[in-house]
Structure 1
Amino acid sequence: MKKDKPKYKQIIDAAVVVIAENGYHHAQVSKIAKQAGVADGTIYLYFKNKEDILISLFEEKMGQFVRSIRSRMAGKENAVEQLEVLIESHFYMLSEDYHLAIVTQLELRQSNKDIRLKINEVLKEYLLLVDEILHNGVKKQIFSEELDIRLARQMVFGTIDEVVTTWVINEQKYDITKLAPEIHSLLVKALSK
């Protein structure tokens, strides 16, 4: 499988840097190859085109993201604690990878409709994680039993996402991880009985 090969990850990591620094539309495959330290043709052994690189990059990074959050949530049965882990992890992981934050918050949103549909497919795994936390909170009577899960998911994801986007637009001039407790508190109040 191509994803198991070392150059695959090398190319993905290079693509994050090149897309963040040049924007998706100006991120040439040759620049990605140079950043990855591979020949231009090597890229095409792993990816069909630049669009495929962007989708694969998001699949790879979002998969790591969700696995990391699930791992950090292990043993936390309380939905309030799970939500706290989700928010803290989301902010921490993007604060640790400046280029990835730019790509996820800005570059993925400027794409064409086909790319957006594929991105939304990849995002489902993250949104299912949010749903699990919300269902758990309702089931354990921590969150309101009248909670509309779909709407609550949009509120949770939308809040986290907007905070990160604002931080990226402001050139990451402050420590986003310090906002996690307040965001968590606001969301818990909104979701609770």
Structure 2
Amino acid sequence: MVKKDKPKYKQIIDAAVIVIAENGYHQAQVSKIAKQAGVADGTIYLYFKNKEDILISVFQEKMGVFVSELEKIIAKDASAADQLGMMINSHFSLLASDLHLAIVTQLELRQSNHDIRMKINNVLRGYLKLMDRILISGIESGEFDQNMDIRLARQMVFGTMDETITTWVMNDHKYDLVELAPKVQRLLLKGMQA
């Protein structure tokens, strides 16, 4: 396998997002991805074992951006409530700025097989652990209910964001997703504050 820091690797990842979004994962042939990336079919196999490997790599690469943004938010000297709001805004903004990625993450990944979903869940775990840090910080500072169940709160926060984005994707992006971020934050805070 060729190193992942090569420009063609990124080209293929970006092309895969477009092809999977436009054709669906099951119809997204490696040849279509290669054509979109402007590389020969065989070049794909220098970087990826198969189409499943491409999908998992897409999620790893793109989720890395979400993790990086969330790490920056946590590093800020801000209240847990403000960090929560920044996280929601960042999450919504990243997907609103890349409609193909929104379709892939909200629709296509859910149609993949069990093994792919398990590998994706492992990648997602890092993001959720960072979210836990915001929730724990809020409990420790007294902003959030001292008896709040972290696991349940995480499910509530991520589930609300996830469902809001999925509904936006299913409605063909007819409204501004980012405008909903402060509303989602307010609703979630009502459930978490003491």
Runs of 4+ with deviation above 4 angstroms? none
Match in the other structure for 1:48: 49
Count of matched residue positions in the alignment of Structure 1 and Structure 2? 193
Match in the other structure for 2:76: 75
- What is the one-letter code of the residue matched to 2:75? A
Determine whether 1:140 maps to 2:113: no
For residues 28-177 of structure 1, what are the structure 2 equivalents within 5 Å? 28-177=29-178
- What is the one-letter code of the residue matched to 2:16? A
TM-score by length of 2: 0.97
TM-superposed deviation, 1:73: 4.2
- What is the one-letter code of the residue matched to 1:84? G
RMSD: 0.9
Q: 2:130 and 2:76 mapped to 1: Cα distance? A: 15
Match in the other structure for 2:186: 185
List alignment gaps of at least 5 residues for structure 1. none
Match in the other structure for 1:25: 26
TM-score by length of 1: 0.98
Q: 1:65 and 1:180 mapped to 2: Cα distance? A: 16
Does structure 1 retain, via aligned residues, the 8 Å contact 2:31–2:41?
yes
Does structure 1 retain, via aligned residues, the 8 Å contact 2:74–2:134?
no
TM-superposed deviation, 1:138: 0.3
List alignment gaps of at least 5 residues for structure 2. none
Q: 1:61 and 1:17 mapped to 2: Cα distance? A: 13
TM-superposed deviation, 1:60: 0.3
Q: Which moved more, 1:61-70 or 1:95-104?
A: 61-70
